Amino acid sequence: MTARRFQGGRLVIASHNAGKVREIGELLAPFGTEVVSAGALGLPEPEETGDTFVANAELKARAAAAASGLPSLADDSGLAVNALAGAPGIYSARWAGQAKDFAFAMAKVQSALGEEKDRSARFVCALALAWPDGHCETFEGVVEGDIVWPPKGENGFGYDPIFLPKDGILTFGEMDAAAKHAISHRADAFTKLVAACFGVGN
């Protein structure tokens, strides 16, 4: 079945994370899409009750589309560490606590790993594009890498300073936006979204 296309007009970015909203804006820039964030519209932050990235992305996109009456794009993402059975995974934001303290969350990943030799991990990003009538399209992207310690770099957001992409020499925290977008989980999911719903792709 072919995906429903985005027909232009305003698109809600259904995220309350400033780092994500910035990256999504950069990834959408080539398409001239007019975007407005959920925060700017004063939309509530729904409870993420799903047990997969896709389920949570879908829930956030549907809630924003219903509340705004506009097509809405949500992102549910996180860091999955192999030796921690995929944790923090869908709980990546929650590991940072109420204060959204990612220095604390990164230290928690490091202490959970301890002396573990297998430091492999991946970032996963699920994107959901929902319309006010309830239709929803979902896509998933991934980037493989390793957890490094101590954190390196001031760029990006969240867990970026402890994520070294496979075969890379800089962490996501040390990369500029363009370098991260060339390989990131979010960019990978975007390539699929754009090919299916924006009518351009490879």
What are the catalytic residues?
A: 76
Judge residue 60's burial from the number of C-beta atoms within 10 Å of its C-beta, 0-12 exposed, 13-18 middle, 19 or more buried.
buried
Q: Which of 63, 26, 192 is nearest to 125 (CA)?
A: 192
DSSP state of 144: E
**Residue 158 contact among Mg ion, ligand ITT, none, beta carbon within 5 to 8 Å by kind:** ligand ITT
Give the interface segment with Mg ion, choosing from 80-88, 92-100, 105-113, 150-158 (CB under 5 A).
Answer: 92-100
Q: What SS3 class is residue 126?
A: strand
Q: Is 100 annotated as a binding residue?
A: no
123 near 142, Cβ under 8 Å?
A: yes
Q: Is 108 annotated as a binding residue?
A: no
Q: What SS3 class is residue 130?
A: strand
Task: Give the separation between CA 126 and CA 140, rounded to whole angstroms.
Answer: 4
Nearer to ligand ITT, 189 or 197 (CB): 189
Nearer to ligand ITT, 4 or 155 (CB): 155
Nearer to ligand ITT, 72 or 184 (CB): 184
Cα separations in angstroms, 64 against 20, 90, 92, 144: 16, 20, 21, 30
Quote the least distance from Cβ 30 to Mg ion, whole Å.
Answer: 26
53 near 80, Cβ under 8 Å?
A: no
Q: Give me the residues that bind ligand ITT (CB under 6 A), please.
A: 15-17, 20, 45, 48, 60, 75-78, 92-93, 102, 123, 156-160, 172, 184, 186
**Residue 159 contact among Mg ion, ligand ITT, none, beta carbon within 5 to 8 Å by kind:** ligand ITT
Nearer to Mg ion, 94 or 135 (CB): 94
AA identity, residue 164? L
Known binding-site residues for substrate equal 15-20, 77, 157-160, 180, 185-186
Known binding-site residues equal 15-20, 47, 76-77, 157-160, 180, 185-186
Residues that bind Mg ion (CB under 5 A): 93
Known binding-site residues for Mg(2+) equal 47, 76
